[in-house]
Amino acid sequence: MSQDFSYRHLYYFWVVAKEGGMARAAERLGMAVQTVSTQVRELEKSLGHALLKPAGRGLALTEAGQAALAQADRIFALGEQLPALVRDAAGAPVLRLALGVADGLPKLVARRLLEPVLHEPALRLKVVEGDFDELLAGLALHRLDLVLADRPAPANANLRLYTHGLGRSDIAWYAAPALAERARAGVPQSLAELPVLRPGADSAVRVHLDQWFDRQGVRPRVVGEFGDSALLKTFGATGMGVFPAPVWVEDDVVGRYGVQPVGRAERVGEEFFAIGTERRVQHPLVQRVLAASAPAASAPSP
């Protein structure tokens, strides 16, 4: 690009393109039409291509003009963000934490595991929910500081990840009031007659629940499977079916969804893990999450 290129000239062209003509652009800019026209011609000269062409009583973009406008849109969109970025940088210090939450991890559990950092006044939290393997890739590329999941990271010498156990919770069954009394009368046998919602096949706890049903000799009447734990609870709250959730967040589940506990899935538990990259200097907020996890997530059966 020529050294004569000017972002001021680009801005005048951008306004002309948005307004559809020199006269309207000049009115918006509070300048003379001739001045605006001269600025646009200077831009065309520096780029070596015509950007505008006559079209009826107005102007239209050439192909080169369309490419220039697309780039100008990006440039000036970034420019609009500049004052806020500078203001944030000059203000109070910010502690940024980029967190991945695996689809199979209950969202109420994720919030509880982050409790040690949620009241940090300088916290700037970015949360990405998604597929477990995709989140691990984000860790490897240093796009994420930590991943919370319902399973440990697989052995992979190339990724150099560590897994930190955050605890374990027993699993209980919950139901909307319309189903709760009938379900409570005979868990697990009642789950062969009442509708049941269960986690999707990708959830780590799913295999343990299937094994639990086999041990009980019960074939559940499954009416729905959900890869997202929040959706499972939402549909369960409508009375669609009895559903499982960790005992550790029972108060939250009951309070938020208006459901009732109806029985335990004995000897079935869900484990929670934090996965990170092996760095010499650990993120201070990650250190706080790991340090607070010790016995907090355990919920032993009565």
Are the CB atoms for 182 and 267 separated by under 8 Å?
Answer: no
Rounded Cα–Cα distance for residues 133 and 103 (Å): 11
**17 Cβ contact list (under 8 Å, min separation 6):** 51, 52, 61, 65, 69, 72
Task: Please state the rounded mean pLDDT for residues 187-203.
Answer: 93
Helix (H/G/I), strand (E/B), else coil: 71: helix
Render pLDDT for 51-78 as a digit per residue (tens, 0 to 9). 999 888 778 899 998 999 999 888 888 8
Residue found under tokens 């490897």 = 140
Q: With 50 as the cut, is the pLDDT of residue 301 above it? A: no
Length of the chain as a residue count: 302
pLDDT at 157: 62
Q: What is the pLDDT of residues 103-162, one digit of tens each?
A: 889 999 999 999 999 998 889 899 999 899 999 988 888 889 999 999 999 887 667 788
Contacts for 229 with CB less than 8 Å, ≥ 6 apart? 104, 105, 106, 107, 199, 203, 245
Set out the domains of the chain in order of their start, with CATH numbers: 7-90 (1.10.10.10), 93-302 (3.40.190.290)
Order of strands across the sheet that contains 146-149: 123-130, 95-102, 146-149, 260-277, 161-175, 243-246
Binning pLDDT at 50, 70 and 90, where does residue 280 land? low
Sign of the dihedral through C-alpha 229, 232, 235, 239:
negative
